[in-house]
Structure 1
Amino acid sequence: MKRYNAIWIFGDQHRGQAMSTAGDPNVNTPNMDILAATGVNFTRAVSGTPLCCPYRGALLSGRYPHHNGVPGHEYRLPPERPTIAHAFGERGYDTAYFGKWHLDGFHEGDGRRAGKHIVPPERRGGFRRWIGYENNNSPWDCWVHGGEGEDAFQYRLPGFETDELTNLLIGYLREKAEARSSGADDAPFFAVLSVQPPHDPYAAPERFMGRHNPATLRLRPNVPAVPRVEERARRELAGYYAMIENLDWNLGRLREALADTGLADDTHLVFFSDHGDMHGSHGQFRKTTPFEESIRVPVIISGAQPYYEGYRNGFWTNVPINHVDLAPTTLGLCGFEPPEWMEGTDYSGYRLEGRPKREEPVSAFLQSVEPTGHHNSVDRAWRGVVTKDNWKYVCFEGTPWLLFNLNEDPYEQVNLAHNSLYAGERRRLHGLLQEWIDRTGDSFALPAV
C-alpha cells in the first residue's frame, strides 16, 4: 500500500472571500487558484469558533472547544490531550510543525512578550520536530525556538515571517527527500506551516504592498457608507491583500519544492485559515462574530492526485466542513480511520473518491464559548449553525439573534430572526442547533421558540 504525506498550510485571519478564485477583484492568488483547479474547494467551509486559540485547539485535537481544554483566548492546550500529531506518529509518520502555536496559555504582562515565550517540549502537541513561537503580532520581528535540553535554540528570523517559515518547511522537505533517496529514512510525514499573516498589523514586503492603493479598492456591499469605517477598511485592506499575495507566492515556492524533490505525487496539500476578518463589513472589524467575513474560510485539498474512475480534476462542494473536521479528514487522505476521540467528520472521500464516505451532517456547529473582552469583539457568548442548503441561525443565550437566507442574501443585510413570516424556518434551524448542543454535550441554554 502506498503511503502518502500530508501538509497543512494556513494563515491567520484569512477570510474565505479573499482569493481571486472566490471572486475577490482586489487580490491575485494564482497558486491558491491552481490548488482549487486541481483539487476540492470547500466553498462553504467555516471556522466553527472564529478566534485563534479555541480554533487551534479544535483543529489539532479534532474536538470542540468546550471539550478540548481551550474554550477561549489564551488557554493552554492540556499536554495530555492527544492531537493529530500523536495519531500520525502512532502510524509511523514523522511529524513537524513550523510557525505560530498560540496554545500555551501565555498572558502578556510585566513587560513580557509572547513572541519570545518558550513553549516546553512536552507542550508542543506531540510533534517530533517543532520550530515555532507562541504568539507574535510583528512579522518583521519574529523569534522562533525549538529543540530541548542542550539542543534547545531560539533565534530571530532574518526576514519577513511568511517567507522565512516557508524556508524552514522547504528545508525539511529537501531533508526528507534526501533521506528517502539515500535509503536512510523512508517514513512518510505530516507537516504544518502556520503563519501569522494576513493577521494585523497589515504590512508585507514592499513589492507586494506597492500593488494595492487603498483609494481604488472595491469594498464589500455590506461595508456601511460611514467615513471612519470606510477609511479604516481601505487602509487596512491594502496591507491585508498584500500579505495574502505574499502568502500565495510562498505557496507557489512550496509547490515548486515538492516538484523539485519528487514529493509532489505523494503529498496531499490542505490549505485553510483559522478564521476571517470583518474589515468594515456591518461596521465591524477583526473576528469573533458569526458573520460571513469572520467565519467563512478557505479550505482546499489538492496535491497528490487521486485515480478513481470518473475523476474530475478540480471541483467545488458546498459541504460545510468545520474546524474539527480537518484532522480526521487529513488522516482519511492518508488511508486511516480517525481515532475515536476525534469528534469531527472525515471528508476525505470528496478528494479520494469524488463522493462522501458515509452519511454526513447537514450543518456545521458555530460557537463563541468565552468572549475575549477585546475591542472589536462580540461581548457575549453565542451558538449557531450554518446548513448545507445555505441558511444561518445564531442565538445569544436565551434569545435568537441572527437568521439569514444566504442564497438570496449573501451579504447578510436582512436579518429574519424576529420576522414571524419565517417562524417555521427558525424552528427548523433551532432544532438543528439544539441537536448539536445535545450531541456535543454543550451547556448553552437556547431560548424557547
Structure 2
Amino acid sequence: MSHTNKTDRPNVIWVFGDQHRAQALGCSGDPNVHTPNIDNLAASGVNFNRALSGFPLCCPTRGSLLTGRYPHRCVPGHEHRLPEGQPTIADVFNEEGYSTAYFGKWHLDGYQERNGRAAFHIIPPERRGGFRHWVGYENNNSPWDCWVHGGEGDGAFQYRLPGFETDELTNLLIEHIEERGAQRKSGSDQPFFAVLSVQPPHNPYMAPEAFRSKHTPGKVELRPNVPPIEGVRSQARNDLAGYYAMIENLDWNLGRIRDSLREADLDFNTHIVFFSDHGDLHGSHGQFNKTSPLEEAIRVPFIIGGERPFYGRKTGISPALLNHVDVAPTTLGLCGIQAPSWMDGTDYSSHRLPEQASVRQPDSAYLQSVIPTGHGHSVDKPWRGIVTNDGWKYVCFEGISWLMFNLNEDPYELVNMAHNSLYAGKRKELLGKLGDWIERTGDSFLLPAE
C-alpha cells in the first residue's frame, strides 16, 4: 500500500446528513434555502455537481460509503447488517496511523425496528466498523429525543443528547477537534479521520424554531415536475418548510466546525467532505421519500473543501459521476493512501489535488435497488440502471424496461422514452452498458431482451 510521508499528513472530516438531495442548496440554485457555509465550502473547493447515490436507501448506501463496495456485495437492503469481518475505511486509516472517530447515525447493525425502538439498541464495539472512538446510535427519527452510546466494558455509556440532534452531535465533533488541536500544540498529534453523520434533514421534517421561523409552506417554490395535484403539492410544501429549515441548521453547524478547525490551527491541513447518503423526492412526479431512481432521490451534494494552502488545490465544478462506492477510495486518495483491492469504487481525489495522478473513470454510474423495503412511498420491485457521462439514464425492472431519459434536454424527467420505438437503438446501447455493469460487479439480475 503506497502512502505519503506520515509527518504532517492531512486530516479528513466527513459531514453528511440523511436524505439531503443535491438540488436543495443555495449553490445549486434552490430559491428556498440559504446555505452560506456549504456554498463557501463549494466556492473554495470542488463541487461534484453530478454526484449520486447508486442505491437511494439508508442502510445500503452507508455500507457502500464505509467499504467502497456495491450493495449486493455488502449491505443489500434495509436493516441488513454490515457483514462480519468486512473491513472498512476506518481499518485502512487505523493501519496508516490515523486516529479514527465516528459520531452519529450508524444504521448498519441489522436491527429490526419491529422489535422496538432502534435508538435504544446497543451496537457492540466489535460491530462499530473499526472506529477507535465511536459515539452513535443505530437509527432514530426523533431529533429532540436522540440517544447515543459508546465505550465498552466499565467505560460503556448511553445517554440522551440534551438538545437538537445536529447541534449536539456537532458539539461532540468540535470537542474531538479541540482535543486534536491540543495534541498538535503539544507535539504529540497524529492525523485524524472523523465522521459526523446526522439524521436531519430526514423526516420528520422539524427544526429549531430559529431556523423553522424562516420557512412557511405557502412560500415554498416547488420543482417543475411536482404535478398539479393539490394533495401532493400541499404535502410537499409542508414537508419542505421543515426540510429546508433542517438544512439551514446543518449549514450553520458546518460553519461551527470550520470555526473550530481555525481555532485549533487545523484548518489548512484538513479536508472537509460534505455529502449525503441519498436524496428525497418531495412530490416530484407525485412521489415522496426515496428508493426511486428519479433525480431528486439519487442526486446528492458532494463537495471536497477546506482552506487552501498557498501551493494550491483545484477548485471549481467537477462533472464526474461520483457514486456511493467512490467516496471511500476518494477520501483515502486525499491523504495519499491507495485504496485496497477489496474496494469497488474509483478514486476521484485528483479532481481536488493537482499532485494526484488522474485515473481512468467509468463512462457511467451503476444504479441498484437490490432488496426493496416494501415501505409506503417506495418502489416495491428490484431495479437496476445506469446514468451515463453523456447524460442518459436507463432503468429496468427484471425482464422489462422502465425508464429512459435524456437528462441533457430533460433534466426534470418529464419524457420517458423507455418504450418509444424511435429510441430502440439507444435503449439497446444502454442495456448493453448496464449488462456490462452487472457482469463486472458480479451482480445477478434478469435484463430485458432489448
Q: TM-score, normalised by structure 2?
A: 0.97
Instruction: State the partner residue of 2:165.
Output: 161
Distance 1:260 1:306, change over 3 A: closer
**Regions of 4+ moved over 4 Å:** 306-309
Partner Cα distance (1:98, 1:362) in 2: 35
User: What secondary structure does 1:109 align onto?
Assistant: helix
Instruction: State the partner residue of 2:12.
Output: 6
Deviation, 1:79, is 3.0
User: Which letter maps to 1:345?
Assistant: T
Instruction: State the partner residue of 1:260.
Output: 263
The question of whether the paired residues in 2 share the 8 Å contact of 1:48 and 1:364 is answered with yes
The question of whether the paired residues in 2 share the 8 Å contact of 1:14 and 1:275 is answered with yes
Matching of residue 40 in structure 1 with residue 46 in structure 2: yes
Instruction: State the partner residue of 2:443.
Output: 442
Give a deviation string over 1:414-433, Cα, whole Å, max 9, x none.
00111111122112211111
Partner Cα distance (1:175, 1:295) in 2: 36
Give a deviation string over 1:75-112, Cα, whole Å, max 9, x none.
011231000000100000010000000000011235x2
User: What secondary structure does 2:304 align onto?
Assistant: strand
- Aligned length, in residue pairs: 444
The question of whether the paired residues in 2 share the 8 Å contact of 1:306 and 1:351 is answered with no
**Percent same amino acid among aligned pairs?**
67
Unaligned runs of 5+ in 1: none
Give a deviation string over 1:117-151, Cα, whole Å, max 9, x none.
10000000000000000000000000000000000
Partner Cα distance (2:95, 2:356) in 1: 28
Instruction: State the partner residue of 1:103.
Output: 108
Matching of residue 177 in structure 1 with residue 181 in structure 2: yes
User: What secondary structure does 1:47 align onto?
Assistant: coil
The 10-residue stretch of structure 1 (271-280 or 429-438) with the greater mean CA deviation from structure 2: 429-438
The question of whether the paired residues in 1 share the 8 Å contact of 2:44 and 2:307 is answered with no
The question of whether the paired residues in 1 share the 8 Å contact of 2:268 and 2:309 is answered with no
Partner Cα distance (2:171, 2:84) in 1: 28
The question of whether the paired residues in 2 share the 8 Å contact of 1:365 and 1:385 is answered with yes
The question of whether the paired residues in 2 share the 8 Å contact of 1:269 and 1:304 is answered with no
The question of whether the paired residues in 2 share the 8 Å contact of 1:392 and 1:406 is answered with yes
Superposed CA RMSD in Å reads 1.2
Instruction: State the partner residue of 2:130.
Output: 126
Match for 1:192 among 192, 195, 202? Answer: 195
Deviation, 1:379, is 0.4
User: Superposed, which structure 2 residues align to 1:323-402 within 5 Å?
Assistant: 323-353=324-354, 357-402=358-403
Instruction: State the partner residue of 2:236.
Output: 233
Partner Cα distance (1:78, 1:304) in 2: 37
User: What secondary structure does 2:244 align onto?
Assistant: helix
User: What secondary structure does 1:71 align onto?
Assistant: coil
User: Which letter maps to 1:344?
Assistant: G
Instruction: State the partner residue of 2:25.
Output: 19
The question of whether the paired residues in 2 share the 8 Å contact of 1:308 and 1:353 is answered with no
Partner Cα distance (2:403, 2:114) in 1: 37
Partner Cα distance (2:357, 2:446) in 1: 33
Unaligned runs of 5+ in 2: none
Q: TM-score, normalised by structure 1?
A: 0.97
Partner Cα distance (2:59, 2:372) in 1: 12
Partner Cα distance (1:228, 1:391) in 2: 31
User: Which letter maps to 1:6?
Assistant: V
Partner Cα distance (1:223, 1:356) in 2: 43
Give a deviation string over 1:362-416, Cα, whole Å, max 9, x none.
1110000000000000000000001111111101010111000111000000001
The question of whether the paired residues in 2 share the 8 Å contact of 1:85 and 1:126 is answered with yes
Partner Cα distance (1:83, 1:162) in 2: 24
Match for 1:201 among 201, 204, 209? Answer: 204
Partner Cα distance (2:338, 2:363) in 1: 21
Give a deviation string over 1:12-65, Cα, whole Å, max 9, x none.
000000001000000000011001101110000000000000000111011001
User: What secondary structure does 2:346 align onto?
Assistant: coil
